[in-house]
Amino acid sequence: MIEKQHLIDRFVRYVTVDTESDPESDTTPSSAKQWDLANALVEELKQIGMQEVTIDENAYIMATLPSNIADEVPVIGFISHFDTTPDFTGANVKPQIIENYDGKDIVLNEAEDIVLSPDLFEDLLLYKGKTLITTDGTTLLGADDKAGIAEIISAMEYLINHPEIKHGKIRVGFTPDEEIGRGAHKFDVKKFGADWAYTMDGSQIGELEYENFNAAGAVVTIKGKIVHPGYAKGKMINSMYIATEFINSLPRLETPEHTEGRQGFFHLYSLNGGVDNTKLQYIIRDHDKGHFEARKKMILQLAEELNEQYEKEIITVEIKDQYYNMREKIEPVMHIVDIAEKAMKMAGIEPIIKPIRGGTDGSQLSFMGLPCPNIFAGGHNFHGRYEYVPVESMQKAIEVIVNIAQLVALKK
């Protein structure tokens, strides 16, 4: 398989390019800096020998590995995104390589006393003796999803360099803006031309997912009235107090920090306000479609009740659906999950089949006609300073991609 240092060098090259997406932007990609990595990936795909390498006006990248067999078999795809989340900075990433991890605390940043500890992150103990790539504690790492990109390109490079491995036509795709829910919005499924695909965007080694949240975003705007506080009686309306009422009226235990498995939640991720105006930004998540619709209705009803209470239209709500649970689109073609499961077992990996507490490009693509389960990329603790990825997990992901290609080549 791909030589270890070669993989590390490739991955480090990707994560040191800042590709943070911007939810406030209306452009695609949402941040101009995403072009920096996108253009570099196009050149790299050409250099390793991929064919039909394209990048469109929105930075969507596609490329082909032609079939090397005479039989007609399904065309498959592998997809990852190159943006990183705006939840935490991705600028000036300084990866640290931890060889032969000893199972103890890892000091990410001595000056700021930032420590990655198995006392808090027990999964670290799964990787004793492995090579870990971490942050320096001041940024995220970007393994979500630059690990997936490194794995896909490395697998294609391996197949090109080993023509004795038989495979059908393979398409690869890299997208912008997945982290702000837009990764598949302008993806040309017809142009991609695959019968099905896999996103390499999961976490722990072995993860295989074909269920995800139904997702929506809600913007709640509260209008107040500001006057001089010395003369405010009966006149001032403090939007921040009303915002507090709104926040406290939603179920307190139905938040990310109190839920797991298939349990849904309301997540207040941004609050910006003053007396005159306050804006709350929520994400709404639930695996069950009925519960998902009920959550959206609850937010609208709460706004209506507060408007009635204050006898003014002081609260407005805008809700936009982002993506849906891909399970209903995958279950009719479960053989594509079975192939991925078999490919993992061939690599000596025990599959962990579970619902995603999040979403991937694949959830939207599945509803656009491209069934797209999700496979592990190997990273942990995404979206923050404690993110890390074991290199050996990335190597196994590459092996799984190669195994899938071989298994599909057997399907007449």
Query: Which pLDDT belongs to residue 208?
Result: 96
Grade residue 115 by pLDDT with cuts at 50, 70 and 90.
very high
pLDDT of residue 411 exceeding 80, the answer is no
Mark 113-125 as b/e (b = at least 16 C-beta within 10 Å). ebebebeeeeebe
Q: How many CA atoms lie within 13 A of 188 on its CB side?
A: 14
Q: Which of 64, 32, 65 is nearest to 176 (CA)?
A: 32
Helix (H, G, I), strand (E, B) or coil at 20: strand
Is 83 designated active site?
yes
Domain boundaries along the sequence of the chain? 4-212+325-409, 214-323
Is 26 designated active site?
no
Crossing angle, helix 335-346 and helix 391-409, to 10 degrees?
120
Q: In the predicted model, what is the mean pLDDT of residues 5-10?
A: 97
Q: In the predicted model, what is the mean pLDDT of residues 243-261?
A: 96
Query: Which pLDDT belongs to residue 166?
Result: 96
pLDDT in tens, 271-328: 999 999 999 999 999 999 999 999 999 999 999 999 999 888 999 999 999 889 999 9
- Give the C-alpha separation, 75 to 184, whole Å: 19
pLDDT in tens, 185-240: 999 999 999 999 999 999 999 999 999 999 999 999 999 999 989 998 989 999 99
Task: Tell me which of 83, 144, 177, 211 is the catalytic residue.
Answer: 83
Say if CB 61 and CB 119 are below 8 A apart.
Answer: no
Query: Which pLDDT belongs to residue 360?
Result: 77
* Per-residue CA distances from 89 to 19, 21, 141, 196 (Å): 10, 10, 9, 33
> 4-212+325-409 with 214-323: one CATH topology?
no
Query: Poorest-confidence range of 314-318, 362-366, 408-412?
Result: 408-412
Q: In the predicted model, what is the mean pLDDT of residues 74-97?
A: 97
pLDDT of residue 412 exceeding 70, the answer is no
Query: Which pLDDT belongs to residue 19?
Result: 98
pLDDT of residue 33 exceeding 80, the answer is yes
pLDDT of residue 61 exceeding 90, the answer is yes
Please tell me whether the peptide bond between 29 and the residue prior to it is cis, using omega within 30 degrees of 0: yes
CB neighbourhood size of 327 (10 A): 17
Q: In the predicted model, what is the mean pLDDT of residues 334-347?
A: 98
**What architecture (CATH level 2) is domain 214-323?**
2-Layer Sandwich (3.30)
pLDDT in tens, 368-395: 999 999 999 999 999 999 999 999 999 9
Crossing angle, helix 4-15 and helix 391-409, to 10 degrees?
100
Task: Tell me which of 151, 178, 195, 361 is the catalytic residue.
Answer: 178
CATH number 3.40.630.10 given to 4-212+325-409: yes
